Amino acid sequence: MTREYIEAKNVNLTFTPPNRMPVTALQDFNLSVGEGEFVSIVGPSGCGKSTFLNVLLGLIAPISGEMSINGKVITKPGQDRAMVFQEFGLLPWRTVQDNIGLGPELRGSSKKLRREKSQHFINMVGLSGFENHYPHELSGGMKQRVGIARALVSDPEVLLMDEPFAALDAQTRDIMQSELLRIWQEAKKTVLFVTHQIEEAVYLSDRVIVMTKRPGRSKKIIDIPLARPRDYEMRVTPEFNNLKLSIWNELKDEIDSLGGAVLD
């Protein structure tokens, strides 16, 4: 396993909102992730975590520096990556089945093939029987299952997840975390997982990257040597809690004492 499967080299990114001061979202941002690895990124609000994923996805171009996957520099969205969005990003006018078939559809595959492919992933995420439901008929957890299936159906090498469970209630979130681990083990993808929640990061990841406050840089990388497969009981062991504490110690200096960054 090489550590340089996903690489970010000295990435800088500045936004200039209309009539505002420019905001530096990422500054000399470096990161490397190995193939098949599950890496979480935690950091204070507004530190550029989501921006980083959008650059990696190919939606935003950095001002300088570059990101690459398997040696290929990212310039635009590609089939080797797929994102799971925090607010799901499902098309309200499409059924579960047609939402999941979006990627294949955009690549021009036939309706029959799309249906077959999406069915496989509908079963994988446990949504059989809901193929013809619209998103508004689903619970939050089910919506995100659709989001995960939609990302997996394109068979990407890398799964990008932008606080995918933040909009879910605590119990649904616990269930979705174990579901994600199951799916990850089944689908064998490299995962980059952005989250606010330290516990979630420890439970899911091989490594956790702590980011500084804005402008965002990677501050510290913490290995999570917990055995896999992981189960819920693991969360109350001393090792687990020690890892949580060490991440918290890195993170707390970055969090604004006034209660988070001002989002503008």
Partner 1 sequence: MVKIFEDYRRLILGCISIVLFFLAWEALLTWVIPMNKFVISKPSLIFMGLFQDIKSGLLWRDLAVSGKPLLFGFGAAAIIGIPVGAVMGWRVRFGYALDPLLTALYASPLVAIAPLVIIFFGVGISGKAILVFTLCVFPFVFNSFAGVRSVDLLLVNAVRSFGGKELDLYRIVIVPTVLPFVIAGARYAIGRALIGVLVGEFFAASEGVGYRIAWYGDMYVLDRMFGYILVMMIVAVIFTEGIRWAERTAFPWRVGM
- Per CB under 8 A, residues contacting partner 1 are 54, 57-59, 77-79, 81-83, 85, 87, 89, 91-94, 102-103, 106-107, 134-137, 150, 154
What's the closest the beta carbon of residue 168 comes to partner 1, in angstroms? 17
Nearer to partner 1 by Cβ, of 167 and 187: the residue is 167
Number of other CB atoms surrounding residue 64 within 10 Å: 11
Task: Measure the CA–CA gap between 38 and 21, rounded to whole angstroms.
Answer: 36
**Which CB sits closer to partner 1, 56 or 176?**
56
Of 82 and 183, CB closest to partner 1 = 82
Instruction: Specify whether the CB–CB gap between 160 and 192 falls below 8 A.
Output: yes
Q: Smaller CB distance to partner 1: residue 27 or 54?
A: 54
- The strand ranges marked E within 16-127 are 23-33, 38-42, 64-69, 72-73, 81-84
Residue 204 C-beta: closest distance to partner 1, Å: 22
Phi, psi of 182 (to 5 degrees): -60, -45
Closer of 81 and 189 to partner 1 (Cβ) = 81
Shortest Cβ 147–partner 1 spacing (Å): 9
Provide the b/e sequence for 10-32 (b: ≥16 CB within 10 Å): ebebeeeeeeeeebebbbebebb
Question: What gap in Å lies between CA 56 and CA 78, rounded to an integer?
Answer: 10
Residue 171 beta carbon to partner 1: minimum distance, rounded to whole angstroms: 23
- For the chain, the first-to-last Cα distance in angstroms comes to 40
Closest distance between partner 1 and the C-beta of residue 54, in Å? 8
